[in-house]
Amino acid sequence: MNERKYQFRLIYISIVAALGGFLFGYDTGVINGTQFYFSKYFELNPAAKGWVVGSALLGCFVGALIAGYVSKKYGRKFSLIISAILFTISAWGSGLPSFLPESVSLLVVFRIIGGLGIGVASMNAPTYIAELSPANKRGQMVTFYQMAIVMGFFLVFIATYFIGAGNSPEHNTNYGWRVMFWSELVPCLLFLVLLFFVPKSPRWLCLQGRYDEAQKVLEGVQSPEVAKVELENIKESIHEDKGLKLNQALKGVFLPIILIGVVFSVLQQFTGINAVLYYGADIFEKALGFGQEDVLAQQIMLAAVNVIFTVLAMFTVDRWGRKPLVIVGSLGMLVGFTLLAISLQMQQTGIVSLIGILMFIGSFAMSMGPIVWVVLSEMFPGSIRALGMSLAVAFQWAANYLVSQSFPVVMESDTNLQGMWHGSLPYYIFIAFILVIIGFTLKYIPETKGKSLESIESLWKVKFSKS
């Protein structure tokens, strides 16, 4: 009976923390549904559209960089509360209420505020879950975060579809996109309220020397005997972390590990995933020839495929391994974008093009989507885990910004639209990066399936001991 109680409480806490990932996915999806309309409302050119869409990612980059400091000084729970407040302000302000001046610059400000919330949450939510979970359930609990991201992305498409459905294009251009932004207030406020009913991270409490409180938190999710052992492990880990200086973490055996993590994280964005997710409406309408009334419905299909294949990854990652999923998924992404690129180049868009996009999304969702987060959470030695994760996530947001800012410019350039490309050039660029992912994974990414964190750390030391 006690075991069931522990499990229920652990799942509850993990779901609450994972709402940070849900808002991450929701915010990613809401910009897709809204940019189609606010771009017309403000008459944005490609560069301005890229700036509005990509501006939030600057906030994400800064948020990820400061998340480690805020988390260490004020705690994981407090950091998540801050992120929930930032999410709420962004969702409210992005709709530009009638008493605010209507300007692209103000919209960008609120998008950057939301980005700060995403950056802080993307570091602290999985960290908080991992630090609270027993070792034998940690992997399963952390997957709640990844699933929450894709569920947020899926549900926002349903929300924007029903908000926009039945309204005239003029109504959605003038008003509908505002309601789409405001719909995010519901999960934002839910996240904020529920955070006051979860405990502080036991690791952070130990960092403050509050060992009795940490013991009580651990005993809420596991038996007192196991909690006592876990507390001693945390104390030992904290002692190791305090003994390592920043200059030591950035040289010797640690530097190549950090570099591999950063590159692998960045390559996730160079697949082109967020070009499809952010600009799906434009792709469906302009490149594939779908009517405006079909755009949101097509995006729901895209999001559903994302969810289904993420579930597949959750059930296969510990059976097939990390590297096989990345390789198989990369090959699927390669085929998907090749179908799309060739159909565009031959000016034969239609069902083959749609299959190509869906194949790309499904392949990403079972490989580089979840596996990058799994590998990053496992690959860094304990003494540099916070630093390694912070840098890897920050550079991922920087790469995300680069792709989202440049995609509409390349997409609507004369080079892409005229001559031999016929709109296919961006996808051939992404295909080149997917080939890089396959080679990089085969050469540098270790298979971590079934290995303890200590054995992974030893693996790195053997590999780079001669460096």
* 152-162 average pLDDT score: 84
pLDDT at position 284 is 64
Nearest to 369 by CA among 24, 10, 5, 12: 24
Integer CA distances (angstroms), 457 to 58, 210, 235, 264, 452, in order: 32, 29, 19, 18, 9
The pLDDT tens digits for 203-261 are: 888 878 898 999 999 888 888 888 888 788 777 766 655 555 556 666 667 888 889 99
* 14-37 average pLDDT score: 87
- In this structure, are residues 462 and 251 in contact, taking their beta carbons and an 8 Å threshold? no
Q: Which domains does the chain have, with CATH numbers?
A: 1-198 (1.20.1250.20), 247-467 (1.20.1250.20)
Backbone angles phi, psi at 144, to 5 degrees: -60, -35
Confidence label for 13 from pLDDT (cuts 50, 70 and 90): very high
Q: Which residue has the higher pLDDT, 87 or 156?
A: 87
Nearest to 179 by CA among 190, 167, 163: 163
Measured N-to-C along each axis, helices 254-269 and 368-379 cross at an angle, to the nearest 10 degrees, of 170
Between CA 288 and CA 146 the distance in angstroms is 30
Percent of the chain clearing pLDDT 70 (strictly above): 87
Q: Which residue is listed with tokens 């580089």? A: 368
Between CA 280 and CA 353 the distance in angstroms is 13
Residue 24 has pLDDT above 80, yes or no: yes
Across 165-169, 394-398, 434-438, the highest mean pLDDT is recorded for 434-438
H or E, element range at 454: helix 453-464
Q: Which residue has the higher pLDDT, 85 or 294?
A: 85
Confidence label for 379 from pLDDT (cuts 50, 70 and 90): confident
pLDDT at position 31 is 82
Specify burial of residue 324 (Cβ count, 10 A radius: 0-12, 13-18, 19+). middle
